[in-house]
Chain A
Amino acid sequence: MGLIQRKIEARGIPTVSITVAKDVTAAIKAPRAVFVPWPMGHHFGAPFHAEIQRSVILTALNAVQIIEQSGVIVELSIPWAEVRRQSKALTEQGKKL
């Protein structure tokens, strides 16, 4: 994914990626990234948790506007256990969000 990101940025389009593996993203030197400490397959949080899914996107879009140096990785340090607890509560309410 880092390869694609670098190619798009080189074509003049600002890019930002979401990563759960900071070391992999650092190795490929992605232009801008947001690290979330969550499992693979959960880059935007948990099912039916619209608020956290949205907050990841907004954090990434903000990163595009504020990062001034290539290779910077910002962190959204909400522990996975907390995301999961919130999501379970939402899911039990009926998968309607």
Chain B
Amino acid sequence: MAAVNLGSSKTAEPAVDPRETGTQLRPGLWPTINERYPGSMISKSDFVPLAKLARPLNECSVCLISSCGVHLKSDRPMDVAHPLGDFTFRRVPSYARQDELIIHQLKYPHDDADLDINVIFPIRRLQELAGEGIIGGLTKNFFSFIGYNMDPEKFETTVAEGIARAVADEEQADIALLAPA
């Protein structure tokens, strides 16, 4: 099938399947979620000054952080039943095999990620890039938590602060790659 929207005016009636257009599949997600879970969505008015890369990419240690709720099967599962969410996070060894990992999270479709974890937590792809020398390496641990947290202030002082501190101080990452779920 051809991408039939090419060259069409933005003011034209939406007549094409959004899956074919390359635009956001669920427009207006911020107000939609905020309506369902009042106070859960955050806006900021200021921009954070950009940090500079300390070294070339092929010398950089990369850290992956995901809200997909993945962890080692041997680790404590995420609490997916609490109405306010789970304000803890897990360290996932960057050398873990895919069959050592499991996803505990209910709030997004992870059927495909259960088939191939790299769909949402591309640990194997990052191991390959490190092995090929395209990136310098991986931090010892990656990080994961569940994105369902209904108290943004508590989230900021627990999960966000804890992961940010660990990525900087413990892992000493050169680049942080973040993937919401």
Q: Which residues of A contact B (CB under 8 A)?
A: 1-24, 27-29, 31-32, 35, 37-48, 50, 53-54, 56-58, 60-61, 64-65, 67-71, 75, 77-82, 84, 95
Besides A7-B161, A7-B164, A32-B50, 8 other CB < 8 A contacts? A8-B164, A23-B30, A28-B44, A29-B44, A44-B118, A50-B125, A61-B135, A81-B1
Give 7 closest A-B pairs by Cβ, nearest first: A7-B164, A47-B116, A77-B22, A70-B47, A17-B178, A1-B180, A11-B168
Across-interface contacts of A80 in B (CB, < 8 A): 19, 25
Cα separation A40 to B57 with both chains bound (whole Å)? 28
Across-interface contacts of B1 in A (CB, < 8 A): 81
Across-interface contacts of A48 in B (CB, < 8 A): 115-116
Across-interface contacts of A21 in B (CB, < 8 A): 24, 26, 29-30, 180
Chosen A-B contacts, 12 in total, with CB atoms closer than 8 Å, are: A2-B42, A14-B53, A15-B175, A19-B180, A23-B27, A27-B44, A29-B44, A37-B18, A44-B119, A50-B118, A77-B22, A79-B20
Give the A-B contact count at a CB cut-off of 8 A.
219
Q: B21 touches which one: A29, A35, A60, A79 (CB < 8 A)?
A: A79
Check: B13 CB closer than 8 A to any chain A CB: no
Q: A13 touches which one: B19, B28, B174 (CB < 8 A)?
A: B174
Contacting A at CB under 8 A, from B28-77, are 28-30, 33, 41-53, 57, 62, 65, 67-68
Query: Would A57 and B160 count as touching, CB distance under 8 A?
Result: no
What's the least CB distance linking B75 to chain A, in Å?
A: 20
B33, closest chain A residue (CB) = A24
Across-interface contacts of A58 in B (CB, < 8 A): 129, 134
Across-interface contacts of B109 in A (CB, < 8 A): 39-41
Cα separation A44 to B119 with both chains bound (whole Å)? 5
Cα separation A35 to B175 with both chains bound (whole Å)? 18
Contacting A at CB under 8 A, from B116-142, are 116, 118-120, 122, 124-126, 128-129, 134-135
Query: Would A38 and B112 count as touching, CB distance under 8 A?
Result: no
What's the least CB distance linking A77 to chain B, in Å?
A: 4
